[in-house]
Structure 1
């Protein structure tokens, strides 16, 4: 994204925080298609986070049962 004068630091937390600001910022000259693509990828990240949270909960329950 450096070609668009936008630099993202590595890390999922930073990415999730900054992604919406990037595609909502009309001054960064991103095309509509790319904005839509970023929005969809942000939605996928949120879905994956929810799925991972579910796995964490299942593992915690399993550990409680095994102890």
Structure 2
């Protein structure tokens, strides 16, 4: 996942995860839940008043691809 750190930092920037390390921990502990969350985000899912950072959806898609290729 180190090669996707830049993309994972987009999730941290949006406060989906506290840190890169927390994302890795959650991925190890709850892989299917993290995948579902990223799939929702990649398909445009967001909170009512939320504005996503630039290239956020693309980052989610790239992370998903990385998870599936592990």
What is the TM-score normalised by the length of structure 2? 0.47
Larger Rg: 1
Higher RCO (C-alpha under 8 Å, 6+ residues apart): 2
User: Higher helix fraction: Structure 1 or Structure 2?
Assistant: 1
What is the TM-score normalised by the length of structure 1? 0.48
